[in-house]
Amino acid sequence: MTIPRVLIIAGSDSGGGAGIQADIRTVTMFGGHPMTAITALTAQNTLGVQAVMPVPTDMVLTQIDSVVGDLGVDAVKIGMIGSAEVAHAVADRLEALEVPIVFDPVMVATSGSLLADAATIAAFARLMGLATLVTPNLPELAALGGEAAVRSTGAAVLVKGGHGEGDTIEDRLVEANGREAVWRNPRIDTPHTHGTGCTLASGIATGLAAGMPLADAIGRAIDFVRAALAHAPELGAGHGPMGHALGRVPFEVMKCLD
């Protein structure tokens, strides 16, 4: 049995809504095997981020080398990167890997807390140059210099429309060859949106790891995000986590099928 192996390079969310925690749940739900290189520890909950502690660069690289050397990797998902130094070091490592890379340029948490300084954002250019797909939301796209700036790196870009106005969300893919695809869906009215970007990017990466075409991997991941939003457990007093298990207890479901 071949299982898609996804290396996740991202930060840890102590509240369990986003970051590594959301990534692991998503990859698992898509039938993949998640592996991690944690770039930062955060103390956060649904109300905000109280503290951030970057992981030393050498430790980030050692985590990457450890899993690549033994387990192998079919795709990489990059989220919160921690620092400019880590961004450049990770880029050096990933240059040797010939696998799809999905880069979610995390800058600000759903609560509004800053997760990347100006130097780190500037270093994102290295990672975008290696990426198969970059998945910015509208504020992140503006901070990166706009769609033309992202496309100039050679990566495809998925412009996420969740921060836009109106009752319809439009997610637009523009590939390096100029080909476009658009997904339009009704907005789901809920405050429990913490981790949507992490979940979407990890879902896409798992699809690419399994050999799916890019547009198909994106469409499936969007469908999963919407299902998880609809099944949010309504935890916390702020922007709560989504329901990655879709309102079910998977093990109990499997026992019922025996």
* Residue range 134-170, pLDDT digits in tens: 999 998 898 888 888 898 899 999 999 888 888 999 9
| Cα angle 192-197-202, degrees, rounded to a multiple of 5 | 120
| Cβ neighbours for 256, distance < 8 A, ≥ 6 positions apart | none
So which residues are the catalytic ones? 160, 193, 195-198
| Cβ neighbours for 240, distance < 8 A, ≥ 6 positions apart | 17, 46, 191, 192, 194, 232, 233, 234
pTM: 0.94
For residues 57 and 178, give the distance between their C-alpha atoms in angstroms, rounded to a whole number.
Answer: 36
| Domain coordinates in residue numbering, the chain | 5-257
pLDDT at residue 178 greater than cutoff 90 = no
| CATH of segment(s) 5-257 | 3.40.1190.20
Q: Which amino acid belongs to residue 56?
A: P
- The dihedrals phi and psi of 226, each to the nearest 5 degrees, come to -65, -40
- For residue range 116-127, list pLDDT tens digits in order: 778 888 889 999
In the chain the first and final C-alpha atoms are separated, in Å, by 21
pLDDT at residue 84 greater than cutoff 70 = yes
Confirm if 43 and 112 have CB atoms less than 8 A apart.
no
